[in-house]
């Protein structure tokens, strides 16, 4: 069984088929609340007692190697996303098709190594761009097509390194980069970085939005300090939580929606809920984990289609309301009410989670927080090295899918699956020299950070909030000055 729980975890783990079946009932693990103990002590015991699902996928077909993935098919090693098809190696992939090695993309097709993008078609190495097509190595571009190595362009075609070319001259240059090698990719990256140093950056990648602060915000209104959101309103502190309204402090809720929610992680389709992890479709749910299609539950684990339960125990409506009021009063005394789950409630080691991606800590720092650390005991296998792989995809033999390759950075083994090889050949891309986890961390470091700095517009000196520091963007324009400059 493939699972997101390592074998040394104390939790019970069921296969997806067994967990969703009627062969067991989470209410069999019900218990009374003990007012002589803290909520956290008792809840941690319940979390370890109730079985958990090996992977979190819903309404997916042929997506056995994905997690936190909904309504999708024929995808591989996607972590977080929904409504996608034929995608491989990515995180936060929504409504996309035939895409590989991407991070935080919406409505994209035939895209490779794209970060923070929306509405792209047949693009490679794009960042913070939207509504572009048939382009290579672009950043901060909108509505462009047939562009190579361009930065900050709007509604342009046949441009190379921000210079306009005739269709014939552009196609002649493009033919030189039709089949990419790592040497060609490195050259294009360097040229794009040179452009980014001398051209103005838009202070925020926010589009069709009103009164919003943050980055990569689309079609939203009245949202503060939000990142990678779409169709949100009257909310604050959101991260990859589309279709959220009147919601605060939420991460990873695609494809949504959320209404009147607070402090949720990996929650979907919720109304009036607080302090939950991995709870999908419900209302009035508090301090619960891995519950689905429930309402009016408190401190529950693993419930499906239940109502008026506390610690998985059934109550009447009147009993439930009285008991919840007493538990909240108890948690207020212990200082637990109003705070998310304690580190001790985590089901994974800190370094196994996305926390380590955005806020990396050492083992000592993690243990000082009373959080768990996971020791990786996987066996290292020796495989063929990158200098043994042909640079040009046309020279790569079919049997590459039977080989074990070695990551040039970490030394970890990895493989190329047949569907992946087909994608590289179709898109004329070289075989990667790095493990998929290493490629993912490369994208994480490239993605705009999830924090805001106060800077002044380089042109009019207006104060703005931006993700770009002075090293990343020497020239920074507010929205007004940027639009005046580029149009």
Report yes or no: 61 and 356 within 8 Å, Cβ to Cβ: no
Examine the pLDDT at 376 and tell me if it is beyond 90.
no
The answer to whether the CB of 165 falls within 8 A of the CB of 153 is no
Q: CB–CB of 278/268 below 8 Å?
A: no
Read off the pLDDT band of 378 (50, 70, 90). Answer: low
Q: Is the pLDDT of residue 277 over 70?
A: yes
Terminal-residue alpha carbon distance, the chain: 55
The CA angle 454-460-461, to the nearest 5 degrees, is 30
pLDDT above 70 (res 142):
yes
- For residue 254, the model assigns a pLDDT of 81
Q: For 78-92, what is the mean pLDDT?
A: 95
CA distance linking residue 348 with residue 382, whole number of Å:
28
Owner of token pair 């039709």: 178
Q: What average pLDDT score do residues 125-131 get? A: 96
How many residues does the structure list for the chain?
A: 487
Average pLDDT (77-82) is 94
What is the C-alpha separation between 448 and 444, in angstroms, rounded?
A: 8
Q: What are phi and psi of 442, to 5 degrees?
A: -60, -40
What is the pLDDT confidence band of residue 92, given thresholds at 50, 70 and 90? very high
CA nearest 431: which of 462, 459, 458, 406?
406
Residue listed under structure tokens 């043994």: 388
The dihedral built from the CA positions of residue 178, 184, 189 and 192, taken in this order, carries a sign that is negative
Beta-strand (E) ranges in 204-330?
206-207, 210-218, 221-230, 233-239, 244-245, 248-251, 258-259, 262-265, 268-271, 274-277, 280-286, 292-298, 307-310, 313-314
Q: What's the rounded mean pLDDT across residues 138-163?
A: 97
165: how many CB neighbours lie within 10 A of its CB?
A: 19
Mean pLDDT of 54-68: 93
- Kindly report the number of other CB atoms within 10 A of residue 312's CB atom: 24
448 pLDDT exceeds 80?
yes
Please tell me the predicted confidence (pLDDT) of residue 379: 64
Please calculate the CA angle 31-36-38 and round it to the nearest 5 degrees.
75
Distance CA 101, CA 91 (A): 8
Position 487 confidence tier, pLDDT thresholds 50, 70, 90: confident
- State what percent of residues in the chain have pLDDT above 90: 89
Residue (of 335, 58, 91) closest to 228 by Cα position: 91
pLDDT for 381 equals 67
Radius of gyration of the chain from Cα atoms?
24
- What is the pLDDT averaged over residues 311-331? 98
Q: Hey, which residues does 220 pair with through a beta bridge?
A: none
86-98: average pLDDT: 96
Q: How high is the pLDDT of residue 106?
A: 93
391 in helix, strand or coil? coil
CA–CA–CA angle 355, 360, 366 (5° rounding) = 80
For residues 103 and 473, give the distance between their C-alpha atoms in angstroms, rounded to a whole number.
21
> How many angstroms separate the CA atoms of 136 and 344, rounded?
46
Helix (H) or strand (E) holding 89: strand 88-94
| pLDDT of amino acid 380 | 66
Residue range 414-428: average pLDDT?
Answer: 96
Helix (H, G, I), strand (E, B) or coil at 423: helix
- For residue 486, the model assigns a pLDDT of 82
Q: Please check whether residue 427 is in contact with residue 124, taking contact to mean a CB–CB distance below 8 angstroms.
A: yes
- In this predicted structure, the answer to whether residue 384 has a pLDDT above a threshold of 80 is no
| Band (255; pLDDT cuts 50, 70, 90) | confident
Q: What is the pLDDT of residue 32?
A: 97
Mean pLDDT in the chain?
Answer: 94
372 closest CA partner among 359, 388, 385, 353 = 353
CA distance 208 to 141: 15
pLDDT at 271 exceeding the cut of 90: yes
What is the pLDDT, as a whole number, of residue 460?
96
What pLDDT, on a 0 to 100 scale, did the predictor assign at position 430? Answer: 97
CA angle 261, 263, 267 (to 5 degrees): 70
How are the residues of the chain apportioned to helix, strand and coil, as percentages rounded to the nearest 5?
Answer: 25, 35, 45
Instruction: Check whether 17 has a pLDDT greater than 90.
Output: yes
pTM: 0.91
What tokens appear for 334 in the block?
């212990």
74 near 61, Cβ under 8 Å?
Answer: yes
Residues of the chain above pLDDT 70, percent: 99
Going by pLDDT thresholds of 50, 70 and 90, the confidence category of residue 375 is: confident
């Amino acid at each position: 069984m493939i699972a997101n729980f390592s074998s040394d975890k104390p939790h019970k783990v069921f296969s997806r088929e067994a967990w969703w079946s009627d062969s067991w009932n989470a209410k069999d693990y019900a218990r009374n609340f003990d007012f002589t103990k803290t909520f956290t002590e008792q809840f941690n015991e319940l979390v370890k007692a109730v079985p958990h699902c090996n992977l979190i996928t819903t309404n997916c077909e042929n997506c056995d190697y994905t997690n936190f993935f909904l309504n999708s098919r024929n995808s591989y090693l996607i972590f977080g996303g929904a409504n996608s098809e034929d995608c491989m190696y990515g995180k936060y992939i929504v409504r996309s098709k035939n895409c590989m090695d991407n991070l935080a993309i919406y409505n994209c097709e035939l895209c490779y190594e794209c970060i923070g993008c929306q509405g792209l078609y047949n693009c490679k190495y794009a960042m913070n761009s939207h509504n572009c097509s048939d382009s290579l190595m672009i950043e901060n571009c909108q509505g462009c097509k047939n562009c190579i190595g361009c930065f900050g362009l709007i509604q342009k075609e046949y441009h190379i390194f921000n210079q306009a070319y005739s269709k014939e001259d552009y196609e002649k240059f493009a033919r030189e980069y039709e089949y990419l090698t790592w040497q060609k990719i490195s050259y294009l990256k360097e040229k794009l970085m040179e452009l980014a140093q001398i051209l103005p950056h838009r202070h925020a990648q926010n589009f069709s939005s009103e009164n919003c602060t943050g980055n990569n915000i689309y079609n939203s209104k009245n949202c503060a300090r939000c990142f990678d959101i779409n169709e949100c309103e009257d909310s604050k502190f959101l991260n990859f939580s589309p279709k959220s309204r009147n919601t605060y402090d939420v991460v990873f809720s695609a494809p949504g929606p959320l209404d009147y929610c607070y402090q949720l992680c990996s929650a979907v389709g919720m109304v009036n809920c607080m302090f939950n992890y991995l709870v999908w479709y419900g209302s009035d749910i508090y301090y619960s984990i891995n519950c689905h299609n429930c309402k009016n539950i408190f401190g529950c684990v693993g419930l499906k289609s239940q109502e008026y339960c506390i610690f998985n125990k059934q109550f009447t409506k009147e009993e439930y309301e009285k008991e919840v009021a007493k538990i909240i009063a108890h948690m207020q005394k212990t200082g637990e009410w109003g705070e998310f789950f304690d580190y001790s409630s985590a089901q994974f080691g800190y370094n196994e989670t996305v926390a380590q991606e955005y806020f990396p800590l050492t083992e000592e720092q993690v243990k000082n927080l009373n959080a768990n650390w996971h020791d990786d005991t996987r066996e290292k296998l020796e495989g063929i090295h990158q200098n043994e792989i042909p640079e040009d995809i046309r020279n790569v033999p079919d049997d590459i899918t039977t080989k074990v390759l070695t990551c040039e950075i970490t030394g970890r083994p990895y493989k190329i699956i047949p569907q992946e090889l087909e994608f590289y050949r179709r898109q004329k891309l070289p075989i990667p020299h790095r493990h998929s986890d290493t490629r993912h961390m490369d994208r994480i470091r490239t993605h705009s950070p999830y924090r805001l700095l106060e800077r002044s517009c380089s042109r009019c000196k207006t104060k703005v909030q931006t993700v770009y520091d002075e090293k990343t963007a020497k020239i920074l324009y507010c929205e007004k000055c940027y639009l005046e400059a580029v149009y």
